[in-house]
């Protein structure tokens, strides 16, 4: 009993300090986001404070909130402003999700916006088959992706999870077109300063690889696109591209083979980075790419103007790798 009491006291202290559990741990346990408990949660006053102390998600409104904890912590949304109403009407958000959910999604309060994301995720499966259902859901997620508050962005990804788990929700031929602005926004998040945001954005992009209407080629094209000049000196921007690219090549290599040339160009530029970590990740990406292409001449030609100190060890390691199967089969040499 003493141990249980100590454990409860420790948990209570952690909740008061953290205001809730981190999103990644919640996803692993399959719990609803925001299990921090009602009341006693100090509100963050700025982004840095919010990042350091994740806050429990706000509960839903209406019938869905009756069993939720902490319902009194979230105020009702303010009325929709004219510009927001126009946006909500244009994509079908107001028509399909209703006045209150739309008002929450566009609220000036991040806690209310977060509750709007949760409400939209709960309602999205019931809208499958409606004419503008995907456009409305994409708008909700795009608002979440552009939000400066981490927990609002993370909550917006519950809408994606709800759509993926709903047969037919993302199966239309227009899915890639409807989601294109969202995919670009998620790609930008790959270089975010917050690790949870980077991880969530990578997971969201790669989750779409399994959907026939989008697939690995569309996601891969985003990843291998040249980095904007303003970001080429950013180590985090390079790492944000190279890590998901490696995973894409491992999991969907044959389906993205046509992207091998732009992928190699991206890797080549990353190999010239001043950051040792970026060069190491670029080397790993080159190895994954070589495992797919398997052509030393292509690699030697593409990397010909790279600094010899960077190029020669990489080509030697790739050549050694290409020789290993032949050696094992008794053929010897290359």
Residues 21-64: tens digit of each pLDDT: 333 333 334 434 343 333 333 334 444 444 444 433 333 434 34
Cβ–Cβ < 8 Å for 225, 184: no
The tokens describing 182, both together, are 């969202």
pTM above 0.85, yes or no: no
**What does DSSP assign to residue 78?**
P
What's the rounded Cα separation, in Å, for the pair 208 and 312? Answer: 37
Cβ–Cβ < 8 Å for 239, 202: no
Lowest mean pLDDT among 138-147, 168-177, 186-195, 242-251: 168-177
Q: Which residue pairs from 94-98 have beta carbons closer than 8 angstroms and sit at least 24 positions apart in sequence?
A: 95/132, 95/136, 96/123, 96/127, 96/130, 96/132, 96/133, 96/136, 97/123, 97/127, 97/136, 97/140
CA dist 229 → 52, 238, 272 (Å): 31, 12, 14
Give 17 or 86, the one with higher predicted confidence. Answer: 86
Opening angle at CA 224, ends 223 and 227, nearest 5: 90
Q: Decide if pLDDT at 172 tops 90.
A: no
Cβ–Cβ < 8 Å for 55, 41: yes
Q: Across residues 94-103, what is the average pLDDT? A: 97
Q: What is the pLDDT of residue 268?
A: 95
Q: What is the pLDDT of residue 171?
A: 84
Q: What is the pLDDT of residue 107?
A: 97
């Amino acid at each position: 009993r003493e141990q249980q009491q100590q454990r409860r006291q420790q948990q209570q202290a952690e909740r008061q300090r953290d205001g809730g559990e981190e999103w990644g741990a919640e996803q692993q346990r399959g719990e609803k986001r925001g299990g921090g408990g009602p009341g006693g949660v100090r509100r963050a006053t700025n982004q840095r404070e919010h990042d350091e102390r994740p806050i429990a998600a706000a509960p839903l409104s209406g019938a869905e909130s009756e069993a939720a904890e902490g319902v009194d912590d979230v105020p009702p949304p303010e009325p929709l402003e004219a510009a927001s109403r126009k946006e909500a009407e244009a994509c079908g958000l107001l028509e399909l999700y209703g006045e209150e959910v739309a008002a929450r999604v566009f609220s000036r309060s991040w806690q209310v916006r977060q509750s709007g994301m949760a409400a939209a995720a709960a309602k999205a499966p019931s809208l499958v088959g409606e004419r503008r259902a995907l456009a409305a859901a994409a708008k909700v997620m795009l608002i979440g992706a552009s939000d400066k508050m981490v927990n609002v962005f993370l909550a917006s990804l519950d809408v994606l999870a709800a759509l993926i788990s709903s047969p037919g929700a993302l199966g239309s031929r227009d899915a890639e077109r409807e989601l294109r602005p969202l995919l670009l926004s998620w790609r930008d998040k790959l270089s975010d300063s917050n690790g949870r945001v980077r991880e969530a954005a990578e997971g969201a992009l790669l989750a779409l690889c399994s959907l026939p209407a989008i697939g690995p080629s569309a996601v891969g094209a985003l990843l291998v696109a040249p980095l904007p000049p303003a970001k080429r000196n950013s180590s985090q921007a390079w790492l944000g591209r190279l890590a998901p690219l490696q995973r894409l090549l491992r999991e969907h290599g044959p389906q993205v083979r046509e992207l091998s040339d732009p992928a190699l160009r991206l890797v080549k530029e990353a190999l010239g980075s001043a950051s040792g970590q970026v060069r190491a990740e670029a080397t790993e990406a080159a190895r994954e790419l070589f495992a797919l292409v398997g052509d030393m001449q292509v690699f030697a030609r593409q990397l010909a103007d790279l600094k010899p100190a960077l190029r020669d060890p990489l080509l030697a390691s790739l050549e050694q790798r290409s020789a290993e199967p032949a050696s094992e089969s008794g053929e010897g040499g290359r």
